Chains A and B, each alone.
Chain A
Amino acid sequence: MLLIHCPYCDETLPEPEFAYAGEAHIARPADPMALTDEEWRDFLFIRSNPRGTHYERWRHVHGCGRFFNAIRDTVSDKFAMTYRAGEPRPNLDALKEAAE
């Protein structure tokens, strides 16, 4: 079972309290009418689906109820970090260097 750190509760808690909510940092276009069908399709359906570092959303649904973001390795399932919704996308390489 995954253990996930909720940045609002500031606790590391078991996965059944959380719900996965897709890739993070995807902003809805401000003016959808200005988009081509292909651009709109890409916004709706096309995701990066990386092998490795993935920026993704989670929700502490059976807890504080908040959405937040996480960086997880899709191969090892290891969480690098979690951070509050609305915060800028952290630079993982810079964080790794700072930790070393």
Chain B
Amino acid sequence: MTAQIHTFPRSPVTVAVRPLATRFSLRLRPGHRETGEAALGLPLPHRIGRISVEGGRQALCLGPDEWQLDAPEAEADAIRAALPGSLPHALVEVTDREVTFVLEGPGVLDLLSIGIARDLSRLEIGRGARTVFDGVQAVLVREAGERFTLSVWRSFAPHVEELLHRGARELALGL
């Protein structure tokens, strides 16, 4: 006898796309960091992987001279105008460049392990990292113990999304 399954068990992890408000890439020499902080009204963490939040703005340090800024859309113009021309910097809006996935649930570490070789159980809550997911460069943030966001460049998103859904389905089936 062949039993046909019509209902699948709930997946231990959900995969969703989070619409981005506004995202900027900021490059600034370490020596100019404090001037940049004052102009933006937002602390710029100097340790890689650390995140600072002020009001609705958020900065993630990706490198010694590189930050990812997230802000509500209404603040985009203010951020564009915040840094004076006399301060050597590069501020580029990258909102449409990236697709951000939200992965949540008790199986989230297992799901990420299909594409990331890092030991993510050691990534502390409220920190992030640029890393590589199945060959695709990605920015990962641990928002909560069982919730991560994974941002990839748009052209890689269909591949990453397919892989995440397939992984979530396999975890649901206990494979």
Contact = CB atoms under 8 A, between A and B. Distances in A.
Interface of A: 1, 8-11, 13-17, 62-66
A62 B48 contact: no
Contact of B137 (A8, A14, A62): A62
Contacts of B132: 16-17, 62
B64 interface: yes
Contacts of A10: 47-48
Interface residues of B, number: 15
B44 to A, nearest CB: 15
A13 B66 contact: no
A66 B131 contact: no
A65 B61 CA distance: 12
8 contacts: A9-B129, A14-B118, A62-B131, A62-B132, A63-B48, A63-B129, A63-B130, A63-B131
Contact of B48 (A1, A8, A14, A17): A8
Given A8-B48, A9-B48, A17-B132, A64 B117 contact: no
Given A8-B48, A16-B132, A17-B131, A66 B63 contact: yes
A63 B132 CA distance: 8
Contacts of B47: 10
Interface of B: 47-49, 62-64, 66, 117-118, 129-132, 135, 137
Given A9-B48, A16-B132, A17-B131, A64 B118 contact: no
A92 to B, nearest CB: 26
Contact of B117 (A11, A16, A63, A66): A16
A2 to B, nearest CB: 10
B128 to A, nearest CB: 11
Nearest to B137: A62
A9 B49 contact: yes
A75 to B, nearest CB: 24
B126 to A, nearest CB: 16
A9 B66 CA distance: 12
A65 B63 CA distance: 7
Contacts of A62: 130-132, 137
